[in-house]
Amino acid sequence: MSSNLDKTTLALGEVAVFKIQIIDVNGENVQIAARNELLPFHFEMVNDSIASQKDIYLRSVKFAVFQEGKFTIPVIEVKVGDKILKTIPYEVEVINTAKKGDEINDIMKNKEVKLDVKDYWEMYKFYILLALLVIAIIVLIIGIVKWGRKQKGSPAVTTNQTLKDLEKLRKKNYIETENFRAFYVELIEISRAFITKQYQIPADVLLTDDLVTYMKSTNAISQENEKIVEEIFL
C-alpha cells in the first residue's frame, strides 16, 4: 500500500489531493473509512473518489482547509482481508497569503496604448488554445469510440452524453467571463468521466502519468489517442 499528498503547504482554501493506492488486492474485501469521512474535521472535502477493481483499490480525496495553522492527516488503517495496513501521517501547514498591512496600489487613469499583433495574441491566446483543446478532446472521443469498435465490436458508447456535457459547459460562459481555470477543470473532468464510463478505466482518480501507464498496460485505446490524452491532461 502507498499513500501520497501532493503538497504540504497550502494557502487558505487551496485544494490539495491525498491518495491511497493498494495493489495486489486479489479480490479481498477492503475496509476503510466511508466516503467523505476519511480525514479529520478541519479538512473540508471537495471530492472523494473511490475506484475498486479485483487487483487494485484507489482512493483520491481532494480537500481544502479554511483555517491557518498546522494540521495532521493521521495514520489511516485499512483492512484488506485479514491484513491491517497503515499509511504514514502527513503534516499540512495552512498560511494566509493576504496579510494585514499589505500595500494597495492606487488605481491610475487608463492610458491609451497602441497594440500590435503580439499584443493581440497575448490578449486572445487563451481563447484560441481552449478552442484547440475542445477540438482535441472531441477528436479523442471519436478516436476512442472507433478504436473500441475495432477491439470490442460494440462498446457502451457514451459519446452523446459527453457531447451534451460539453454543450452545458459552453453555456456556462466561462471563456466569455475569462474564468479559464474553471473551464479547463470542468473540461478535464468531462474527459475523465467519458474514459471511465466508456472503458471502465478509473480515469477519474488516476493521476495523468498513472492513467497513461494504465491504458498502455491494458491496451484500452490506440497509441495515437494515448498521446492525445497526455497532451490534453498535462
Q: Vertex 204, ends 201 and 208: CA angle to 5°? A: 85
Ordered alpha helix ranges (H), the chain: 117-152, 159-171, 180-199, 208-218, 223-233
- In whole angstroms, give the CA distance from residue 161 to residue 145: 13
Residue owning grid cell 477528436: 139
Cα distances (Å, whole numbers) of residue 141 to 15, 98, 102, 147 = 28, 42, 48, 10
Give 110's contacts (C-beta < 8 A, 6+ positions apart). Answer: none
Question: Are the C-beta atoms of 30 and 51 separated by less than 8 Å?
Answer: no
Q: Which domains does the chain possess?
A: 2-95 (2.60.40.10), 117-233 (no CATH)
pTM over cut 0.85: no
pLDDT at 10: 94
pLDDT at 39: 93
pLDDT at 52: 86
Those residues of the chain that have pLDDT short of 50 are: 150-156
- In whole angstroms, give the CA distance from residue 76 to residue 57: 15
Helix axes 180-199, 159-171, angle to 10 degrees: 170
